[in-house]
Structure 1
Amino acid sequence: MKTPAVATISHIGICCANIEESIAFYTDALGFIHERSIDTIGPPYDTLTELPGITCCAHYMQCGDITIELIGYPDSEVSGTTERRPMNQLGFTHMTLIVEDVEAVAEQVVQYGGQIHAETRIDSPYGPMVFCTDPNGVRIELMQSAG
């Protein structure tokens, strides 16, 4: 039997327009735990990130076995838009979070700087679902748990 090339997923990184707002969103709106922070990340990681001479900070948010790394660039500009990407645009499209109550979490999403896209709300055979975006435009599917 061939050994799998990937043992597990370490984390998912998100570039943040406003790091403090993003931390509040993931902890207060979604219930992630702010596990740890690294205030200054520079060489040799500037080579790895292809941003020579640029430093960043990283905040690790934990939910079960999933870790999201929120990355901020306090001394430089970030690029891109905070608008949600179309689902048929190449690359990362979304992540799905299982929640106990879609409506309650949707209220928290809006309170902490995210957006609910009400036109995506459905009652599926799996339960209620809706898409939202975090303050950085990352599309998140909220799926209500069956139990």
Structure 2
Amino acid sequence: MSESNSVNLLHIGVCTSDLSRSVKFYTEALGFTHEREVGEIGAPFDQLIELPGTTLKAHHVSLGGLRLELIGFDQVVGSDERCPMNRLGFTHITLTVDDIDAVCERITQYGGQVLSHTRIDSPYGPIVFCTDPDGLRVELMQPPTQS
């Protein structure tokens, strides 16, 4: 008898303070594709997320093989301050871009922040950290052009 141990990534969940703003940021500033609105979710998922009686709304957006589930609650906890890179847990997503300056402009236009002091020129091309409107780090990398 064959035993399957297949594990595949479905999505990464991101709690947002303003769901529609985050959908707009990821689709219009970063080029994600809006896949679907999940709608309002309550029981039995309130047990799964350990928030009894809570409902949430969600949208799925994707880019390449990455799918984010952007989640909106009536009340969120925490701060929109970006976490230090050496804090345990999820630290950032990295995206390659054709024009780092143009993407940085869109990030600012759609409520994110460009951390200009982090910009470096590396053997992999220019790299800079930015944040989404809720402080989640987004690393942009512009690979060198091949000639």
TM-score class, shorter-chain normalisation, is over 0.9
Aligned to 1:25: 25
Report percent identity of matched pairs.
54
1:113 aligns with 2:95: no
Instruction: Identify the residue that residue 69 of structure 2 maps to in structure 1.
Output: 69
Per the alignment, residue 145 of structure 1 pairs with 143
Cα distance, 1:131 vs structure 2? 0.1
Q: In the alignment, which residue of structure 1 is the partner of 2:80? A: 82
Q: Deviations over 1:9-46 (max 9, x none)?
A: 11011000011110110000000011001111011111
The match for 2:131 among 122, 130, 133 is 133
Q: Secondary structure at the match of 1:40?
A: strand
Partner of 2:11: 11
Identify unmatched segments of 5+ residues in structure 1. none
Measured in 2, the distance between the counterparts of 1:97 and 1:82 equals 21
Deviation at 1:64, TM superposition (A): 1.4
- RMSD of aligned residue pairs (Cα, Å): 1.3
Q: Secondary structure at the match of 2:106?
A: helix
Taking structure 2 as the reference length, the TM-score comes to 0.93
Q: Report the TM-score, using the length of structure 1 for normalisation.
A: 0.93
* Cα distance in 1 for residues equivalent to 2:95 and 2:63: 10
What is the rounded CA distance, in whole Å, between the counterparts of 2:17 and 2:103 in structure 1? 22
How far apart, CA to CA, are the structure 2 residues paired with 1:54 and 1:62? 26
> For the residues of structure 1 that align with 2:117 and 2:6, how far apart are their CA atoms?
37
The 1-side partners of 2:102 and 2:123 are apart by 20
Letter in structure 2 aligned against 1:50: E
| CA drift at 1:62 | 1.0
Cα shift at 1:145: 2.7
